[in-house]
Amino acid sequence: MITAQAADKSLDIQGKDFLTLADFSKNTILGLVQKARKMKNASLLGKDSKSLNGKILGMIFEKPSTRTRVSFEAGMIQLGGSALYLNSNDLQIGRGETVADTAKVLSQYVDAIMIRTFSHGMVEELALHADIPVINGLTDLYHPCQALADLLTIYEVKGRLEGLKLVYAGDGNNVAHSLMIAAAKVGMNLTIAAPPGYEPQEKVLALAKQFGKETGAEIEVVNSAIEAAAGADILYTDVWTSMGQEQENAERLEIFKSYQVNAQLAAAAKQDYTFLHCLPAHRGEEVAADIIDGSHSAVFQQAGNRLHAQKALLSELL
Ligand code: CP
Ligand code: NVA
């Protein structure tokens, strides 16, 4: 249950890095969701607070982005601050300057760094050497900002998080990993259905199961999408080929074809199931067009919530 008090008190995460939800308590995560709801309401009434007046977010991108880039930049501006888009190819880091040196220098120019890259270890190293908060805007391992917006969306649509059954069909990737941690932390049951060899990493599963023990969330990984979907409150999927895996695309199309979220899979879910996808989506691959564009889909509300969840996060970290 998300209490009203949770939204008003400081979450005590000022100055912290946001690399994975595993580093945050259930109360902090629920507090961020609640704060995001309040800030969303205020924003829709044209009453954004200017709490980040004069603050600057540096945003390093080593992979493409639509939602993450634009929602972080727009969010900073709405709260009175600003953001710098830094393509890693245009930075000296792209020609061999060390991560540590980059961290120490940027710490003197900006108030926080958001980074999207391949290696999660590189982001940990950046955070270790930076004196300012570092936010993970997606690595090959985790996508915590997405999971935060997903929790906000599920709460809005279902009115609760605890005890729901979330089913993710597809690749055991960064988005799946962050969902596992998020669900386990808040007490939501999650079944990941992935083909053999494409399941989530064992270490992430072990971590999620450990968090799940504290909240009663059951986190499991199976190979059959249709069996997993039975009684689902939420069906979730992501691309079969993530950024950086493009050379595996043809092979993956073949391996994942029985994991498509389509009418057959949806028929196994609850009648009032909700469909989510972090986007970008490939209609006809991981999701059928009639599902993502159908009446159960909340994918654009979910994409919109990236803005609100991150504004709550930024205002707490800064
Ligand atoms: N979902 C998400 O992170 O989208 P972008 O790749 O467009 O940022
Ligand atoms: N798993 C996808 C998510 C994109 C937002 C990727 O890493 O490309």
Residue 5 domain flag = no
The candidate with the shortest Cα–Cα distance to 153, out of 36, 247, 263, 240, is: 36
Residue 12 domain flag = no
How many whole angstroms from its chain centre is CA 225? 22
Q: How far does the centroid of ligand 1 lie from the alpha carbon of residue 70, in Å?
A: 9
Q: How far does the centroid of ligand 2 lie from the alpha carbon of residue 176, in Å?
A: 10
* 276/194 same-domain check: yes
Q: Would you give the DSSP letter of residue 45?
A: T
Q: Is the CB of 238 under 6 A from ligand 2?
A: yes
Q: Is 67 annotated as a binding residue?
A: yes
The C-alpha angle 231, 237, 240, rounded to 5 degrees, equals: 140
Residue 187 domain flag = yes
Name the domain count of the chain.
2
Is residue 278 annotated as a catalytic residue, yes or no? Answer: yes
Question: Residue 44: in which H helix or E strand, if any?
Answer: helix 26-44
Residue 266 domain flag = yes
Give the per-residue pLDDT at 68: 98
Q: Would you give the DSSP letter of residue 201?
A: P
Protein residue closest via CA to atom 6 of ligand 1: 65
Per annotation, catalytic residue among 37, 116, 120, 277: 116
Which residue is associated with the tokens 């079969």?
Answer: 240
Q: Please give the chain's pLDDT, 318 residues, in tens.
A: 555 455 557 889 999 999 999 999 999 999 999 999 999 999 999 999 999 999 999 999 999 999 999 999 999 999 999 999 999 999 999 889 999 999 999 999 999 999 999 999 999 999 999 999 999 999 999 999 999 999 999 999 999 999 999 999 999 999 999 999 999 999 999 999 999 999 999 999 999 999 999 999 999 999 999 999 999 999 999 999 999 999 999 999 999 999 999 999 999 999 999 999 999 999 999 999 999 999 999 999 999 999 999 999 999 999
Query: Cβ-count burial of 3 within 10 angstroms (0-12 exposed, 13-18 middle, 19+ buried)?
Result: exposed
The C-alpha angle 195, 199, 202, rounded to 5 degrees, equals: 155
Residue ranges making up the domain that contains 215: 144-301
CATH of the domain at 276: 3.40.50.1370
Residue 149 domain flag = yes
Residue 9 domain flag = no
Is residue 296 annotated as a catalytic residue, yes or no? Answer: no
Residue 227: partners with Cβ closer than 8 Å, 6 or more residues away: 193
Collapsed DSSP state (helix, strand, coil) of residue 135:
strand
Q: What is the DSSP string of 205-244?
A: HHHHHHHHHHHT--EEEES-HHHHTTT-SEEEE--SS-TT
Q: Is 258 annotated as a binding residue?
A: no
Report which ligand 2 atom has the smallest distance to the Cα of 174. 1
Residue 1 domain flag = no
Q: How far does the centroid of ligand 2 lie from the alpha carbon of residue 192, in Å?
A: 16
Report which ligand 2 atom has the smallest distance to the Cα of 67. 5
* 179/195 same-domain check: yes
* 132/237 same-domain check: no
* 115/258 same-domain check: no
Q: Is 90 annotated as a binding residue?
A: no
Is residue 146 annotated as a catalytic residue, yes or no? Answer: yes
Is residue 95 annotated as a catalytic residue, yes or no? Answer: no
How many whole angstroms from its chain centre is CA 229? 21
Q: Is 12 annotated as a binding residue?
A: no
* 106/189 same-domain check: no
Contact predicate 184/177, CB 8 Å: no
* 155/123 same-domain check: no
Residue 14 domain flag = no
Total residue length of the chain: 318
Q: Is the CB of 303 under 6 A from ligand 2?
A: no
Q: Please tell me the distance from the alpha carbon of residue 66 to that of residue 157, in angstroms, as a whole number.
A: 24
Q: Is 146 annotated as a binding residue?
A: yes
* 68/176 same-domain check: no
Q: Which of 278, 279, 286 to mutate to test the pocket of ligand 2 (most atoms within 8 A of CB)?
A: 278
**Beta-bridge mates of residue 57:** 83, 112
* 158/297 same-domain check: yes
* 93/70 same-domain check: yes
Q: Is the CB of 117 under 6 A from ligand 1?
A: no
Give the per-residue pLDDT at 300: 98
